């Protein structure tokens, strides 16, 4: 089925919007590959082309437009597409915001609040750096009580390390990451340049008309955080800190999904609602249709090559 046929088939379906989920955009992603993996990084050239295609072949909308669509039945333009960014990398301000301004596309940026204004890298970036730079051929994980051969294939060990930290928060999370670095004989280092945006940059995004929401305090998988008080803190304290610095209500949330499944549960759904969020984004793939739960909005992964990006976006409108 060609793109034209997909477009016709989508027109026969109920109205829908597609939310694209990005993370990082860099001029030369390979330069920071030991920190930020290729799976969540786009080059500026590719991202700019994505935005041009959205403007030319679809209708860019804001997350607030989609929220009104699912909650109040407001009408959306056909083939509505929203753009979102998770984590709060400084390149969102430096690279992404100017590109969006050039084409007139609004976006929503979700910040890992505990990282705002720091010089450190997120915990998952530190783990990636440790595995990609370690001189060790064996990883004896005391936390997992397992021995890993790193001489030929490291992906399994890396994914296990991610999973072991995904349910942790705060100090426990930092101690677990430091232990992995020690076991891999890697010194705890800062990236060569600041990785995450600061409050001034977050405010600038708001002044430019973009949505700025919470992505939790410390980026755990909330569905696997065992303690109820800690779960609430990740949701409520991140929201309060943002509201203090941005001097306005923060109504939008994005569920972190660093590892482990699922990324949400009935428990986290209730906690998100109690925290006072109006919308919450997941990584569950698919379009957003009328009467969808605004606290469980689905997204689509932005594939890099142009033809695959368009094909994936066209197909998304057909899914239920």
Mean per-residue pLDDT, 258-280 = 98
Mean per-residue pLDDT, 157-185 = 97
Rounded to whole angstroms, how far apart are CA atoms 278 and 211? 13
Question: Tokens at residue 247, please?
Answer: 């001097």
**Of the listed ranges 2-11, 136-145, 212-221, 303-312, the one predicted with least confidence:** 2-11
Phi, psi of 26 (to 5 degrees): -135, 150
For residues 4 and 305, is the Cβ–Cβ distance under 8 A? no
Question: Tokens at residue 76, please?
Answer: 């959306």
Rounded to whole angstroms, how far apart are CA atoms 267 and 93? 33
Any bridge partners for residue 141, and if so which? 146
pLDDT of residue 3: 55
pLDDT of residue 76: 97
The superfamily CATH assigns to domain 3-119+196-316 is Glycoside hydrolase/deacetylase (3.20.20.370)
- Does residue 1 register a pLDDT over 60? no
Any bridge partners for residue 279, and if so which? 252
pLDDT digits (tens, 9 = 90+) for 93-127: 999 999 999 999 999 999 999 999 999 999 999 99
Please tell me the total number of residues recorded for the chain in this structure. 320
Residues whose CB falls within 8 Å of the CB of residue 185, separated by 6 or more in sequence, listed in order:
134, 135, 136
Does 144 or 268 have the greater pLDDT score? 268
- Does residue 2 register a pLDDT over 70? no
pTM score: 0.95
pLDDT of residue 300: 97
- Least Cα distance to 24 among 128, 104, 158, 133 occurs for 128
For residues 125 and 179, is the Cβ–Cβ distance under 8 A? no
pLDDT digits (tens, 9 = 90+) for 228-250: 999 999 999 999 999 999 999 99
Confidence band, pLDDT 50/70/90 cuts, at residue 189: confident
Domain boundaries, the chain: 3-119+196-316, 123-183
pLDDT of residue 320: 86
**Of the listed ranges 27-36, 159-168, 295-304, the one predicted with least confidence:** 27-36
For residues 83 and 105, is the Cβ–Cβ distance under 8 A? yes
Rounded to whole angstroms, how far apart are CA atoms 22 and 39? 10
Q: What angle do CA 96, 102, 105 make, to 5 degrees?
A: 70
Rounded to whole angstroms, how far apart are CA atoms 164 and 167? 7
pLDDT of residue 153: 81
pLDDT digits (tens, 9 = 90+) for 5-64: 556 545 546 799 999 999 999 999 998 899 999 999 999 999 999 999 999 999 999 999
For residues 109 and 92, is the Cβ–Cβ distance under 8 A? yes
Q: What is the CA radius of gyration of the chain?
A: 20
For residues 119 and 193, is the Cβ–Cβ distance under 8 A? no
Mean pLDDT of the chain: 94
Print the SS3 string covering the chain: CCHHHHHHHHHCCCCEEEEEEECEEECCHHHHCCCCCHHHEEEHHHHHHHHHHHHHHCEECCHHHHHHHHHHCCCCCCCEEEEEEEECECHHHHHHHHHHHHHCCCEEEEECHHHCCCCCCCHHHHHHHHHHHCCCCEEEECCCCEEEECCCCCHHHHHHHHHHHHCCCHHHHHHHHHHHHHHCCCCCCCCCCCCECCHHHHHHHHHCCCEEEECCCCCCCHHHCCCHHHHHHHHHHHHHHHHHHHCCCCCEEECCCCCCCCCCCHHHHHHHHHHCCCEEEEEEECCEECCCCCCCEEEECCCCCHHHHHHHHHHHCCCC
């Amino acid at each position: 089925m060609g793109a034209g046929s997909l477009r016709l088939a989508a027109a026969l379906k109920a109205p829908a919007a597609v939310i694209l989920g990005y993370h990082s955009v860099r001029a030369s992603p390979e330069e920071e590959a030991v920190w930020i993996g290729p799976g969540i990084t786009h080059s500026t050239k590719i991202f700019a082309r994505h935005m041009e295609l959205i403007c030319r072949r679809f209708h860019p909308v804001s997350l607030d437009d989609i929220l009104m669509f699912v909650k109040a039945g407001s009408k959306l333009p056909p083939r509505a597409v929203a753009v979102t960014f998770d984590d709060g990398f400084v390149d969102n301000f430096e690279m992404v915001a100017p590109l969006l301004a050039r084409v007139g596309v609004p976006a929503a940026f979700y910040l890992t609040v505990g990282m705002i204004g720091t010089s450190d890298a997120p915990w998952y970036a530190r783990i990636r750096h440790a595995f990609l730079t370690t001189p060790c051929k064996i990883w004896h994980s005391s936390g997992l009580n397992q021995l890993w051969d790193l001489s030929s294939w490291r992906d399994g060990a890396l994914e296990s390390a991610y999973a072991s930290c995904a349910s942790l928060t705060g100090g426990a999370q930092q101690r677990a990451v430091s232990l992995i670095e020690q076991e891999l004989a890697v010194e705890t280092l800062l990236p060569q340049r600041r990785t995450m945006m600061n409050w001034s940059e977050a405010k600038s995004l708001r002044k430019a008309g973009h949505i700025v929401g919470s992505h939790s305090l410390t980026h755990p998988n909330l569905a696997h955080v065992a303690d109820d008080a800690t779960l609430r803190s990740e949701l409520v304290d991140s929201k309060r800190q943002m509201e203090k610095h941005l001097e306005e209500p923060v109504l939008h949330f994005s569920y972190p999904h660093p590892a482990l499944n699922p990324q949400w549960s009935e428990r986290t759904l209730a906690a998100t609602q109690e925290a006072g969020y109006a919308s919450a984004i997941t990584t569950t793939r698919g379009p957003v249709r009328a009467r969808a739960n605004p606290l469980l909005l689905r997204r689509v992964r932005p594939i890099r090559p142009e033809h695959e990006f368009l094909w994936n976006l066209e197909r998304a409108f057909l899914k239920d």
